[in-house]
Amino acid sequence: MTSKSLSSALPYRIGYGEDAHRLARGLPLILGGVPIPHAEQGAVAHSDGDAVLHAVADALLSGLALGDIGHYFPDTAAEYKEMDSRIILDRALMLVRARGYAPVNVALVVTLDRPKLGPLRAEIAQTVAGLLDLPATEVGVSFKTSEGLAPDHVQTRVTVLLGRTRD
Ligand SMILES: Nc1ccn([C@@H]2O[C@H](COP(=O)(O)O)[C@@H](O)[C@H]2O)c(=O)n1
Ligand SMILES: C[C@@]1(CO)OP(=O)(O)OP(=O)(O)OC[C@H]1O
């Protein structure tokens, strides 16, 4: 079987995405659609700077080789200034669905030194799952510190499994 016929025979595809934003005082921090209370610093970004939703959207797009969010939402366009990143994720999901795929499960890792995000794990999983029309049990959420190596930085890495919904 050639690699071309193999990829059309298999019902699953893997996607990977990541995003990072610099942090600065006086800005809100939003992760996975959840505003983080008591964050001393927020994301420096053109949009609302939600590094989780950006990485999930890039993971969806990469699974079908559809480019990345910067292609669809250039950070030079004034219309996307301070935009809600749920719009970005919606667009990526729409593109994936239009090609006959849907997310099956998501695994995401947020690297952030402060604040501790553990108490928000369920809310972030639930919110991301809701945006993808998945049960919260299909969104794994892990947190890591940078061990002080990058205190002014938030980073998210995401894998997603896409399943074919039609032939
Ligand atoms: N912003 C964060 C970062 C980490 N955690 C939790 O702390 C534990 C230890 O993380 P290390 O990076 O030091 O291994 C781990 O259980 C993380 O879930 C957190 O809650 N918020
Ligand atoms: C989202 C966009 C567009 O507003 O900008 P940012 O919010 O800066 O985010 P980033 O993840 O750096 O890049 C994607 C851009 O297209």
What are the tens digits of pLDDT across the range 9-28? 789 999 999 999 999 999 99
Q: Give the distance (Å) from ligand 1 centre to CA of residue 90.
A: 29
Q: Which residue has the tokens 């940078």?
A: 146
> Is residue 46 a known part of a binding site?
yes
Cα-based angle 85, 141, 64 (whole degrees, multiple of 5): 60
Does the predicted interface ipTM exceed a cut of 0.85? Answer: yes
> Is residue 153 a known part of a binding site?
no
69-102 tens-digit pLDDT: 999 999 898 988 999 999 999 999 999 999 999 9
List Cβ neighbours of 104 (8 Å cut-off, separation of 6 or more).
12, 138, 160, 161, 162, 163
Ligand 1 residue neighbourhood (C-beta within 6 Å): 112, 116-118, 143-145
Helices (H) and strands (E) in the chain, counts: 5, 7
Say whether pLDDT at 118 is over 80: yes
Q: Give the distance (Å) from ligand 2 centre to CA of residue 126.
A: 23
Q: Give the distance (Å) from ligand 2 centre to CA of residue 51.
A: 9
Question: How many other β-carbons are positioned within 10 Å of the β-carbon of residue 28?
Answer: 13
End-to-end Cα distance, the chain: 19
HEC-encoded secondary structure of 22-60:
EEEECCCCEECCEECCCCCEEECCCCCCCHHHHHHHHHH
* CA-closest candidate to residue 46, choices 87, 12, 98, 99: 87
Q: Which domains does the chain have, with CATH numbers?
A: 13-164 (3.30.1330.50)
**Tokens representing residue 80 in the block:** 């996307």
